[in-house]
Amino acid sequence: MSVLLIAEHNNKEIRSFTLNAITAASQIDSDVHVLLIGNNCSDVAKLLSEISLVKKVLQVEAAHYENYLAENFAPLIVKVSENYSHIISSANTFGKNLMPRVAALLDISQVSDVIKVVSSDTFLRPIYAGNAFATVKSTDSKKCVTIRPTSFEPCEVLGGSASIEKIEAIGEFTSSKFIKREEVKSDRPELGTARVVISGGRGMQSGDNFKLITDIADKLNAAIGASRAAVDAGYISNEYQVGQTGKVVVPDLYIAVGISGAIQHLAGMKESKIIVAINKDGEAPIFSVADYGLEADLFEALPQFLEELNKLNTIQK
């Protein structure tokens, strides 16, 4: 039976995590259909149809679908879900907000945050902030699944020629209203998908000192992250938070500066390919997950780090 993937987009572009979720969906069943709910979103429909893993695009448009309120999306997804074995989305704030509402309406016990598809009903997922992995089997006849995007490669947007079928909108849920969204605009790579991430913790001592991190991030074309301690101390805003309650990142290189390595921070970064820790406390738990540890005062080490990078002839971008 076909699987239904709920696309996340901004009515112009596909949000990148949707591409990771499509890869995961294709591992459950090769007949992946994508449900695109939005407003004036034909450009997105066209892009989705060009993905070779996508066999059909279902497009629904209405003014009340512009800002993806779960209250408007969920009943529509329920209506479309009849002919599908699985309903899938990414486990970011989009999917986390939406999918449980769909699952409850369908009387399905959802499987959240899947990191591996074992079979069409069995999945691997992290629990306790990634300190344990659980293999779980859904016994519901239809499944609602969210996918941890960083655990699956993004699919390529090419080689496909899926049909685009328009379907009817349904009524608006009028008790909830979108007011505004304040997106952080940045020239840097997105934290969730960056190849290199450099994060600061409480050891940074102030927001101004993040300049030391910014300079290195510029040099390495890295995204900037932070520990919850740094966010709570007001050094940097919450969208930079890496951890159980922030973002989960899996970059090729993760540089943790002045971060002690609380369980909740490790949950967000310990799957990174290479981890560097710079901390003056040699006993800090961050060193237990670091491939390269440097016990040093960050206020001396970071300027030296920048200097050493400047000496290199080439730096990977």
Partner 1 sequence: MKILVAVKRVIDYNVQIRVKEDGSGIVTDNVKMSTNPPDDNAIEEAVRIKESGKATEVVAVTVGDEKAQETVRKALAVGADRGIHIKAEGIIEPLAVAKILQKIIDKEKPELVFTGKQAIDDDCNQTGQMLSALLNWSQATFASKIEIKDKKLEVIREIDEGLETIEVNLPAIVTCDLRLNEPRYASLPNIMKAKKKPIEQMNASDLGIDTTPRVQQIKVEEPPARKAGIKVSSVAELVQKLKNEAKVI
Binding to partner 1, residues 142-171 (CB under 8 A): none
How far are the Cα atoms of 50, 83, 219 from residue 313, in angstroms, in the given order? 39, 57, 12
* Cβ(241)–Cβ(226) below 8 Å: yes
172 binds partner 1 (CB under 8 A): no
Q: Binding residue for partner 1 (CB under 8 A) from 23, 49, 209, 264?
A: 264
CB of 133 to partner 1, least distance (A): 5
- Residue 101's H or E segment, with its range, is helix 93-105
Q: What's the distance, CA 193 to chain centroid?
A: 8
| 270 within 8 A of 264, measured Cβ to Cβ | no
Choice from 55, 73, 270, 284 touching partner 1 (CB under 8 A): 270
Rule CB under 8 A: is residue 177 a binding residue for partner 1? yes
Tokens 């486990």 found at: 91
Q: Which is nearer to partner 1, 189 or 293 (CB)?
A: 293
**Residue 189 or residue 192: which is nearer to partner 1 going by CB?**
192
Q: How many residues make contact with partner 1 (CB under 8 A)?
A: 88
In this chain, which stretch among 30-38, 54-62, 199-207, 290-298 interacts with partner 1, using CB under 8 A? 290-298
| Per-residue binder mask for partner 1 (CB under 8 A), 187-216, x = binder | -----x---x--------------------
276 lies in the binding site for partner 1 (CB under 8 A): yes
Q: Which of 110, 199, 227, 260 binds partner 1 (CB under 8 A)?
A: 110
Residue 74 binds to partner 1 (criterion: CB under 8 A): yes
Q: Which of 127, 165, 206, 211 binds partner 1 (CB under 8 A)?
A: 127
Instruction: Give the distance, in angstroms, between the CA of residue 158 and the centroid of all CA atoms in the same chain.
Output: 22
Q: How far apart are CA 234 and CA 227, in angstroms?
A: 11
Do residues 206 and 212 lie in contact, with contact meaning Cβ atoms separated by under 8 Å? no
When asked if residue 138 is in the footprint of partner 1 (CB under 8 A), the reply is yes
Query: Treating both helix axes as pointing N-terminal to C-terminal, what angle do 70-80 and 93-105 enclose, rounded to 10 degrees?
Result: 50
Nearer to partner 1, 85 or 97 (CB): 97
Q: Which pair of structure tokens corresponds to residue 289?
A: 């997950």
Residue 283 lies near partner 1 (rule: CB under 8 A) = no
Q: What is the CA radius of gyration of the chain?
A: 21
Q: Are 149 and 249 in contact (CB under 8 A)?
A: no
Going residue by residue from 77 to 96, which x/- string records binding to partner 1, judged by CB under 8 A? Answer: ---------------xxx-x
| Among 33, 86, 202, 228, interactor with partner 1 by CB under 8 A | 228
> With respect to partner 1, which residue has the nearer C-beta, 82 or 183?
183
Query: What CA–CA distance (Å, rounded) separates 260 from 281?
Result: 8
Does 304 participate in binding partner 1 (rule CB under 8 A)?
yes
Angle at 261 between CA 260 and CA 266, to 5 degrees: 165
Q: Does 28 bind partner 1 (CB under 8 A)?
A: no
Q: Does residue 111 interact with partner 1 by CB under 8 A?
A: yes
For the bound state, the minimum distance from the C-beta of residue 291 to partner 1, rounded and expressed in Å, comes to: 4
Is the backbone of residue 60 left (phi > 0), alpha (psi -120 to 50) or beta? beta
150 and 128 Cβ atoms separated by less than 8 Å: no
